[in-house]
Amino acid sequence: MAAPETRPFSLAYEIDKLKKRLLLPITNIVFDSRYEYGKLYLDDDMSLIKIYAKLYIDDDFIGTIPYMSDRWGPMYDTAKLDEIAFDKIYQRFQYIIFDKIIGQEPRAATVELVNNNLEPLYVRDKSGAVINTAFCVYVNNEWNVVLAGPNPVTKMKVTNVVLNPPPPIKGA
């Protein structure tokens, strides 16, 4: 039986894939040159090794994203975004984003990043009060902004339920 084929590497494909997954205007990815494309890397426990790729918008380094390598190409860990400099991204595109916010919320005076993330941004009025929250995503080569109200967090009620094991089956 022949070994499965490896998908040919395409940087354009990888950039497009990350643009769609991260919803950011990524223009370049630099992979760790110590690892060969299409090869599976495992540690001593036979777990996939996390490798880090550098992300860029034009010539600006914006952070790293972990990935694992296999014959189908990189598998990105898009849940690990704490090493992306969202403040740098916002500074670069703040005029575009703020114009879209002010178009929807004319009372907006300032916008504040929360936890170094573009989701959500706090929209403040001239007095400094939070009047709205904005969620920003880069889709189809443009920034899209959605306002979600002053407090988008949904209140949740937590209920604990104890499940008892079923009674033993008679005759078993």
172 lies in some domain: no
At residue 171, the pLDDT reads: 67
Domain boundary among 76, 103, 118: 76
SS (H, E, C) 23-56: CCCCCEEECCCCCCCCCCCECCCCCECCEEEEEE
Q: In this structure, are 50 and 99 located in the same domain?
A: no
Same domain, 48 and 95: no
pLDDT digits (tens, 9 = 90+) for 82-123: 889 988 999 899 999 999 999 999 999 999 888 766 678 899
Residue 6 is predicted with a pLDDT of 63
Structural domains counted in the chain: 2
Counting as low any pLDDT under 70, the low residues of the chain are: 1-7, 116-118, 151-166, 171-172
Write out the residue range of the structural domain in which residue 29 sits.
Answer: 11-76
| 90 and 66 in a common domain | no
pTM, to two decimals: 0.76
Domain boundary among 32, 50, 76: 76
Instruction: Identify whether residues 95 and 56 lie together within a single domain.
Output: no
